[in-house]
Structure 1
Amino acid sequence: MAELKENTARVIEVTAKDLPLHCPTPDQVKWNSHPRVYLPILKNGGEALCPYCGTQYKFTGPLPHGHH
């Protein structure tokens, strides 16, 4: 099992395997996190900002099939 991370990163790069994107992500510690919020990163030009913690997400890599 992968080690869980504190939700302290300010910029996180995500790929198609992370979609649908939500914060906190599955590899972050849950006990001290905020409620899960889904972020429409592809509709926002490949970037999204969590309204709870301010973490910025940047999409990298190829788009998933079915997206232009």
Structure 2
Amino acid sequence: MSLDSSNFLRKIEEMQRELEYMKRDLMHLEEKITRKPSLFGSVSGEDITDEMIEKAQRELFREAEDV
């Protein structure tokens, strides 16, 4: 292997390492940008009634015999 070949291989390895760092930084950046989901429009109707809350609680917290 000539001197030029080893020099090029070293530069390629450095570029690969830098690319991995950039990928990692980009992944961390995307996590910070994400927004919390909006619940706007997820309930039909204009107001949430007590009956709607009770129904949701019954569906969420089922009786032990349903399990």
Q: Same fold (TM over 0.5)?
A: no
Shorter-chain TM-score tier: under 0.3
Which has the larger strand fraction? 1
Higher radius of gyration, 1 or 2: 2
Q: Which one scores higher on RCO, CA 8 angstroms, separation ≥ 6?
A: 1
Which has the larger helix fraction? 2
